Amino acid sequence: MHRLSLLVTLAGCVLLVGPSTGAYGRIKLITLPVRERVEVQLDHPNITLVEEERIVPLVKGVNQVDFSWANTRIDPNTIVFRVIGPGGDRNEDAPEINVLSVSYPPNENALVWQVASSKPGSARVRISYVLGNLTKSFNYRAVAANDEATLVLSQYMRLQNLANEEFGSSDIWAGFGPRFHKPIGINETKEMLVEKFRQVPITKTYTCNPAEFDYLDRPKNKLRVPMHYVIKNDKANGLGAAPLPFGKVRIFQDDGRGTTAFLGEDWGKFTPIDDEMKLYLGVAQDIVVKRTIEKNERHRVAGNLYDYEIIIKYEIENFKNKPVILDVAEDLRYVRNEVRRDTGRDVEWELGKQTTLGDPDKEDTTQQRVVFHVNLPAASRGKNGKAQKIVHKLHVIIRNEW
Amino acid sequence: MKRIFPILLIATALAAPADAKNVDLSTVPSRDTVQLTIYNSEDLTLVRETRVVSFKKGVNPLQFSWANTLIDPTSVELRFLKLADQLDVLDTTFLHDKPQMLYWNVQSEIDGEATVEITYFTSGITWSADYVCIADPQETEMGFEGFVRVYNHSGEDYENAQVRLVVGTINLVEKIAQLARISMRDVDRLEKGRRGELRQRAAREMMAKSGVMVADMAVAEAPKQIIKEGLSEYFIYTIEGTETIPHGWSKRLRSFEGTTVPFKIQYRYRVRQYGDQLVRMYLLTNDETSNLGTTPLPNGMVRVFRDNGRDGLSFLAAQQIKYIPIGDKIEINLGPDPQVVFELVKLRAFRDQIWMKLHGANVYRQVDDGRIRIDPRSTVAGWDDHELYNQRIRNYSPKPIDVQVRRIFPGHVVFRSELNPKLHDYQTVQYSTNVKAGQKADLLYEVVRHQGRNAKQNNVTLEQARPAR
């Protein structure tokens, strides 16, 4: 249903005829130029710009071009009227056209352009406007290979038309990726495949960080160990052409029998180029990490000024039959809060010699957070039938506290 | 709908309009010209209309009424443009039982026609400015169009009116003071009536100073010119020809156009102005070099598009701008750019210069000199916090970018870096960089905050040195 209309009032231009009743009759003879082309520009994060082209017949002199809409949320202040060429093929026949003014009638969703033409003819005009309730969102389908080394990432754009206006065959552009050419019906939701990235390398991570993920079993000091697929949005990984927009990711895995198993879903955050999108898969059941504070000693420096020496012990068991890398992360402010109160000041810390976790990750470690990567061998059952337990220690000295 | 009528009452010698008369005969002189001077900073429009009225010798009662309009009755004035020396207004009467109406008794020495001018203030007619910018695909030049839109909600239709728009923030009290040649202190002491009278005089004076009416055009083949003239602290836009704006309608006309206006792009981080984000700015100047500068830019909404190179547009931003004088900068905030990543990472924190205060004595000793044994009965009284930051900027756009960062550091602070920073003010540090396309920049700096008794000032000192790692 067309709720937008463009009318051209022909010679005579009987407009604004004011009867004495106070309501203005607008008596006119009109032509109805149809839409020749529609483009839906979705490159702005929050705003949809619709552009429609029409060929408008014009008489010599001043023409009234009436644009009106009903039950649709056009922002009238954003409407731009541009003459982009002659209506026909011959440039030499093109009239010279000037937009003189725009009038806005009372209590109507309409406006009237006064357009002067140097001679009879037609013009190709483009009318652009911001339209509400024609919105886009993104979602993804990620299918991991059976070995979880790569995945196929399909990116979809979902266009929802609640604008109460239908658009015939329209050019649709998200600001990146291909341009679509599709009709958009009223109340229609259209999902379009923007990109399909194949063989995208993934890293499956296991992370423990009590400040961020808490304990799985606090009395037993067992940490929660969430699993993530990490996709790096860069060219080396077959991505990196554009930021990945925010959207829901449904995650599947090839089950090795020609079908896929649904692993879950997560919100993929907006991911700039070279950044990582982390997709939460759930809590690992086969990686057990027990965390205890083995040492907490206070050393007076002077008066009420102290250094704190803390050793955190991790007892790690990998019950999986393949090796994995465990990311051990600690928030130093969280650690300080465990052994004393939060002073509000930054934590001045350094690693002690008894740390067994290796060197921290330089990229991920900041003033407040330290991250280690720990290799866990595959479970090799011991004599008593238990998985091998690996013990690591984090030795931290927190300085100048009072 | 016309609701404003001057009526010449005939066949009576109505020196006193309140006389009870049940049978009247009257003529209704039509409006010949009308001029609207519209202020955008106040809901105030000065209307000046002329009509031709036939007078007979003696006293001529003239009725003026304005039912259902928003005219200020105390502002209505009548004067004679022709034969003024033979016509006099004897009195003006506002009847108690007939609101929105007044009577003038005009003493005429002639039998014949005279042109009268009626002026009054009305509210309900307003105007606003807005701007449309369309940047070229390369983002080096833009088309910059300014528009004015006149709204008529006054209750009266004004046909073929000359329209003049007053640009600028009008402080009528100032104008009153100027006209009355009294001090601002005395303005507040004026009675309301006197202030109103002076306000009218101020507006009339302004109106009288600017030119004659422009003749209407039979057919306007080109957009109407809007003549811009400076007047004292104001700018007056006079729309060429006349306009008809019925009650309830509004009309928008182009006031100027700059077709190839050069501009620059800068990325800025200024929390107070743009929030906690790096934003992309279009920077241009309202001057002749930039093909603008014909007029100050009144307050209004700027809508920015970019030509996508295929006849289409991309919507970039809509932003309200404040009055921009000729020669001043126009800064348009396009918001964050997803192709530029702006991150601040705190790499390290440590403390030094720790001073202890001994209990019971006004004695301070420094902790880290290594020679003095500090009394256990002492507390920390002063220290320096060191914070090391990496301001990382990643540019994934296809062009190099200029980035300017302003950060505010309250307290007594030393800003140590090799970034050649400047002090924007006593507590705001500004540093800039250029990041090539596809590259990243790591801007390292150290902030030393003097705390407790170490804080002697409330300002930032810049130190050109390598930050501590």
> Per the CB < 8 Å rule, is A303 touching B349?
no
Strands B300-307 and B125-135: parallel
Per-residue exposure over B364-396, b if at least 16 CB sit within 10 Å of its own CB, e if not: ebbbeeeeeebbeebebbbbbbbbbbbbebbbb
**What ipTM was reported for this prediction?**
0.89
What are A241-280's pLDDT values in tens digits?
999 999 999 999 999 998 999 999 999 999 999 999 999 9
What local confidence, expressed as pLDDT, does residue A102 receive?
Answer: 92
What are A146-159's pLDDT values in tens digits?
999 999 999 999 99
The DSSP letter of residue B185 is: H
Give the separation between CA B206 and CA B202, rounded to whole angstroms: 6
Give B189's pLDDT tier (boundaries 50, 70, 90).
Answer: low
What are A190-206's pLDDT values in tens digits?
999 999 999 999 999 99
Chain A residues with beta carbon closer than 8 angstroms to that of B149:
104
Chain A residues with beta carbon closer than 8 angstroms to that of B349:
346-348, 367
Please give the residue of chain A at the shortest CA–CA distance from B384.
A400
Please give the residue of chain B at the shortest CA–CA distance from A39.
B312
Please count the other Cβ atoms lying within 10 Å of the Cβ belonging to residue A364: 13
pLDDT for residue A20 is more than 90:
no
Hey, of A54, A77, A103, A172, which one would you mutate to test binding to chain B, going by the most B CBs within 10 A of its CB?
A103
What local confidence, expressed as pLDDT, does residue A382 receive?
Answer: 56
**Short-list A323, A329, A231, CA closest to A286:** A323
Of the candidates B132, B339, B349, the beta carbon closest to that of A347 is on B349
Please state the rounded mean pLDDT for residues B8-37.
65
- Given a contact cutoff of 8 angstroms between Cβ atoms, the answer to whether A160 and A178 are in contact is no
What local confidence, expressed as pLDDT, does residue B204 receive?
Answer: 46
Hey, of A46, A170, A305, A397, which one would you mutate to test binding to chain B, going by the most B CBs within 10 A of its CB?
A305
Chain A residues with beta carbon closer than 8 angstroms to that of B338:
45, 243, 270, 272
What local confidence, expressed as pLDDT, does residue B171 receive?
Answer: 55
Hey, of B221, B334, B347, which one would you mutate to test binding to chain A, going by the most A CBs within 10 A of its CB?
B221
Please state the rounded mean pLDDT for residues B299-309.
94
Give B370's pLDDT tier (boundaries 50, 70, 90).
Answer: low
If residue B180 lies in a helix (H) or strand (E), which one and from where to where? helix B172-180
Region of poorest pLDDT, from A268-277, B47-56, B230-239, B274-283 = B230-239
What are A47-77's pLDDT values in tens digits?
999 999 999 988 888 898 989 998 889 999 9
Top-confidence residue, B206 or B226: B226
Chain B residues with beta carbon closer than 8 angstroms to that of A103:
249-252
Please state the rounded mean pLDDT for residues B4-25.
56
What local confidence, expressed as pLDDT, does residue B173 receive?
Answer: 43
What local confidence, expressed as pLDDT, does residue B16 receive?
Answer: 46
What local confidence, expressed as pLDDT, does residue B222 receive?
Answer: 76
What local confidence, expressed as pLDDT, does residue A251 receive?
Answer: 96
Give the separation between CA B123 and CA B100, rounded to whole angstroms: 14
> Per the CB < 8 Å rule, is B367 touching A346?
no
> Per the CB < 8 Å rule, is B367 touching A77?
no
Helices B192-209 and B172-180, packing angle to 10 deg: 90
Three-class SS state of A386: coil
> Per the CB < 8 Å rule, is A128 touching B347?
no
Average pLDDT value over all residues in chain B: 84
Tell me how far CA of residue A181 lies from CA of A46, A172, A189, A192, in angstroms.
21, 6, 15, 10
> Per the CB < 8 Å rule, is B251 touching A347?
no
Region of poorest pLDDT, from A81-85, A138-142, B195-199 = B195-199
pLDDT for residue B46 is more than 50:
yes
Of the candidates A78, A243, A402, the beta carbon closest to that of B380 is on A402
If residue A337 lies in a helix (H) or strand (E), which one and from where to where? helix A332-339
Please give the residue of chain A at the shortest CA–CA distance from B248.
A106
Using only C-alpha atoms, chain B has a radius of gyration, in whole angstroms, of 34
Top-confidence residue, A16 or B272: B272
> Per the CB < 8 Å rule, is B221 touching A98?
yes
Give the separation between CA B405 and CA B430, rounded to whole angstroms: 6
What local confidence, expressed as pLDDT, does residue B230 receive?
Answer: 78
What local confidence, expressed as pLDDT, does residue B25 receive?
Answer: 66
Global pTM value:
0.85
What local confidence, expressed as pLDDT, does residue B454 receive?
Answer: 97
> Per the CB < 8 Å rule, is B157 touching A77?
no
Give all strands of the β-sheet with A150-161 in edge-to-edge order: A189-201, A150-161, A134-144, A247-254, A260-268
Please give the residue of chain B at the shortest CA–CA distance from A43.
B314
| Total CB pairs under 8 A between chain A and B | 164
Chain A residues with beta carbon closer than 8 angstroms to that of B411:
none
Hey, of B380, B435, B448, which one would you mutate to test binding to chain A, going by the most A CBs within 10 A of its CB?
B380
Top-confidence residue, B69 or A185: A185
